[in-house]
Amino acid sequence: MQLGASQHSVLCGRKQLRTGKPLSRLREQPQVRTRKVKSQVRRKQNRSTAIHTKATAEAATEARPSGLTPFAAVRSEEEFFGALQKGVDSGKLPKPLYAAFEDFYNNYKQTVLESDAPDASPELVARVMGSIADRTFNQFLDPYTFPSYHTRLLEPYDYYKFGQNYVRTLINFNKSVVGHLERFEKIQEQLDAGDNVVLLANHQTEADPGVWALLLEKKLPRLATEIIYVAGDRVVADPLCKPFSMGRNLFCVHSRKRMDDIPELKSEKMATNRRTLGAMVKELSKGGKLVWIAPSGGRDRPDPESGDWLPHQYDPGAVELMRTMMAKSKKAGHLWPMAMYSWEVMPPPASLEKNLGERRLTGYAGTGISLAEELDVDALLSGIAPDQKQERQQKLTDTAWKATVEEFKSLSEAIHNDDLRANSNVHSQPWRD
């Protein structure tokens, strides 16, 4: 992990996020309220608080797993740092990891204790961080190698719950939303019919899979857990990422952006990608598969001049690859543009970093997911000749990206405007039902 030289505070809703530099400017939202709206918002928030008080309390208990390191039994901050120091003193843990985990721990502690979650406590912080340290250092003892197609590991250790427990503590469910829930329900119908579905989505944080699952798991549990993510190098190689990745279904690939980072490994990376493509074809041929890909090739970053966040441009090659693979699967396929809003809970570094071990910053904030309308590929490309391949790819990609941007903007407005969120006929909070 990289440690920042300085720290600033940036508003994340009403809470503060410690960062190395200002990452965004949140637009002022109109504060027009009525007694009726205030009452509706208050009732909904009280109900949401009651629901997630229980969920987070259960998470605190589950966050103390059985494992191979002393961190598995951690119950307090003193015990956490005591175990960390012993590991370093014994030579079992690399010395730089002490400073890295100290920074991560303190940042996460500030986020949790300053949140309005009713069960936020120093003990919860210690248990969650203990579980993260336990699973991270377990990788030094028994490293896991990801295959081209990785299915989530639930036994003998439940890595899915492990990831959910951590991300849950960062989400302000009162401000979070799902846009166009009926479209998510339509996707479930398509999957049940044996069709394949590909989500063309922007990617914001390492917490995105957890956000997706937490916002959908009550209403659409199979969408929450059966989705397959197209994952890049960092997700399966970074020591802190690996345990979280082990709880998700993944197609493991090397992105173009990092293909030349280590020249001598380029041929091996290309071979891995070929194997992964074969695995994808095999799975899609079975039908009923839901795949999430970030055609931008990585996480969104703020505009360096304005500080504003928007989904990065999509790569036409990535979009065309998914369209082609679904066409070859001989199963009906569907392309859906999707927006993810999550940057406030776990923002990436302001710029792309080649080295693994980036600094982890956290915030307590609202999140959201929203689907644009399904792409009608035939209609979109009907006016472009088949031999104009580049123009066809660009048309499809631009349409998907623009739709994602519009949904992202809509999510941002709903998350940051209480009145709009309370009266929206587009955005909902299905975990309340």
Each residue of 143-178: pLDDT tens digit?
A: 999 999 999 999 999 999 999 999 999 999 999 999
* Mean pLDDT across 208-230: 98
* Strand positions, DSSP E, 256-332: 290-293
Reported as a pLDDT band with limits 50, 70 and 90, residue 198 is very high
Q: How far apart are CA 335 and CA 320, in angstroms?
A: 11
**25 or 114: which carries more pLDDT confidence?**
114
Identify whether 195 is part of a domain.
yes
Q: How far apart are CA 187 and CA 333, in angstroms?
A: 11
Tokens 């123009």 locate to 391
Would 399 be classed as within a structural domain?
Answer: yes
Question: What pLDDT does residue 118 have?
Answer: 81
Amino acid at 234: R
Q: Which of 370, 312, 378 is nearest to 341 (CA)?
A: 370
In terms of DSSP bridges, do strands 8-12 and 196-201 run parallel, antiparallel, or are they unpaired?
unpaired
pLDDT in tens, 277-327: 999 999 999 999 999 999 998 899 998 888 899 999 999 999 999 999 999
Say if residue 156 is preceded by a cis peptide, omega within 30 of 0. Answer: yes
Q: Averaged over 87-116, what is the pLDDT? A: 93
User: Residue 179's beta-bridge partner residues?
Assistant: 370, 427
pLDDT number for residue 360: 81
Question: Average of pLDDT values for 344-365?
Answer: 76
In a domain, 78, yes or no: no
Catalytic: 142? yes
Q: Which pTM value belongs to this model?
A: 0.84
**Residue 10, in any domain of the structure:** no
Catalytic residue among 103, 116, 142, 433: 142
Residues 6+ apart with CB under 8 A from 152: 159, 160, 225, 246, 247, 248, 249
Number of domains in the chain: 1
In a domain, 340, yes or no: yes
Is the pLDDT reported for residue 405 higher than 50?
A: yes
Q: What is the CATH number of the domain that holds 238?
A: 3.40.1130.10
pLDDT of res. 75: 96
Residue 116 lies in a domain: no
79 within a domain of the structure (yes/no): no
Single out the residue of 233, 208, 135, 214 nearest to residue 168, CA to CA.
214
Q: How far apart are CA 297 and CA 196, in angstroms?
A: 22
Whether 123 has a pLDDT exceeding 70, the answer reads: yes
Domain span holding position 170: 146-432
Position 320 in a domain: yes
Average pLDDT taken over every residue of the chain: 85
